[in-house]
Amino acid sequence: MSKLAAYDGERQTRVAIELIMHTMLRTNELRFGKWTEIKGDHWLISAERMKMSRDHKVPLSRQAKALLGELKAIAGNSEWIVPGAGREKPISQNTMIFALYRLGYHSRLTVHGFRSTASTILNESGLWSPDA
């Protein structure tokens, strides 16, 4: 987290990576996320965008909502939560992984790895269904 906080690349890239950590989303679920999907305390991702073809309701913590607020300030009037350079398309599929490389994690960490780590922690706690 301290390396990420000191990331000297684009602010939205840093915030996007941190949002992945808070929401446990897949990279493409965030990349193709639109502001219309944010519904108060939840992010509702339609079945068409989900791997399992089911609607996915993501609860948003206070921290996740603050990160979304930062992204909204950066995105302006773009429909994308994390817009690319021209604002008409989302960020590149490699943006976040390349940021991790720049932070020194090449071949040691992936963006999807945050999701895997969260899944392991939740499953090992015994408090959560593996399907949650």
Annotated domain spans of the chain: 2-124
Spatial distance between the Cα atoms of 68 and 19, rounded to a whole number of angstroms: 8
Phi and psi at residue 122, to the nearest 5°: -65, -40
Spatial distance between the Cα atoms of 29 and 101, rounded to a whole number of angstroms: 21
Spatial distance between the Cα atoms of 105 and 110, rounded to a whole number of angstroms: 8
Q: Read off the pTM.
A: 0.91
pLDDT tens digits, 28-69: 999 999 999 999 999 999 999 988 888 999 999 999 999 999
**CATH 2.40.160.210 describes domain 2-124:** no
Q: Is the pLDDT of residue 132 over 70?
A: no
